[in-house]
Structure 1
Amino acid sequence: MKSTFDVSDKLFELYHRVHRLVNESMTEEGVSLARSKFLFFLSKLGPCRSTDIACALNFAPRTVTEAIDGLERDKLVERKPDPEDRRAKIVSITDVGRVVLEAAEHPRKQLIEEIFSALDDEQLDQMYDIVSRLVVKADEIRKRKEDAELTPAEAAQ
């Protein structure tokens, strides 16, 4: 019988291997996995402020600014003045960014399909259910930790 630590280590090993393979295949098409997250976000939700991106992706504002600088330099996104706040900029994906994102998505999907072809449909359903239960449990633990960090006055609100 495998211990929870054995299973956890194997899940982390899988995650890192898949992450590395996906990143390599996407980078060959012109955009890394990290950069594609920004492009995907902008393609789905449309133009927004960098602070919105940082909040949605749970990145530090400085990290987002640096990433946007690089994406803009490569003509994958553009910044325009925010009509509601002259201090802020609105970031949007360019046509070039859409083409690059689409080109990188194909090998990512192909690679994921190939990896998961090791499982039959029943195993895939079981894995989905198991991972979903673990996600729910992790969310419960995160919420419990966040609630414990609140001051009594904050908790009362």
Structure 2
Amino acid sequence: MMRRAFERRLGRSSLTLAQARALLYLSRNEGLRQVELAAMLEVQPITLARLIDQLEAAGMVERLPDPDDRRAYKLYLTKAAAPHLAAINDVIRSIHADALRSLGRQQVDSLGATLGSMRENMGAQNRERDRESA
């Protein structure tokens, strides 16, 4: 429901949900390589490459050579991404406010702690599985 609300509220933007997610994650982790961002977004690298191509064509993202790997590029936002990120963050804040409206502060804090624990549990399982397969 939150995803649909996001798409509906961002509807006036030229961005797709996937592009908005890529911009948001990149804003929190500038200088990532494409393969790293693809893993964070849980998409195939080729899928992300197309998204980055679109964002680069729109002037919001730039690829710069990775000084440690001549074959790789690191991703950075341009100034043109700033108004889009502001709109994305406004929509996120609005959706969160709507979703949490009837909850008290203690409930919100408890929910945040519970979701954080769930994320950590799943991350630990994924790290263990990655070690076993290596």
TM-score (norm 1): 0.67
Find the structure with the greater CA-based Rg. Answer: 1
1:104 — aligned with what? 88
3-state secondary structure, aligned to 1:92: strand
1:56 — aligned with what? 40
Say what the alpha-carbon RMSD is for the aligned residues: 2.8
Count of aligned pairs between the two proteins: 134
Give the AA of the match of 2:132: L
CA shift for structure 1 position 112? 1.4
Give the Cα–Cα distance (whole angstroms) in 2 for the partners of residues 50 and 122 of structure 1: 39
Give the AA of the match of 1:51: V
Give the AA of the match of 1:47: G
Give the Cα–Cα distance (whole angstroms) in 2 for the partners of residues 64 and 47 of structure 1: 15
Give the Cα–Cα distance (whole angstroms) in 2 for the partners of residues 135 and 85 of structure 1: 31
TM-score (norm 2): 0.76
1:150 — aligned with what? 132
1:47 — aligned with what? 31
CA shift for structure 1 position 51? 2.0
CA contact (8 A) 1:31 1:104 kept: no
Percent of aligned pairs with the same amino acid: 24
Among residues 54, 59, 70, which one is paired with 1:70 in the alignment?
A: 54
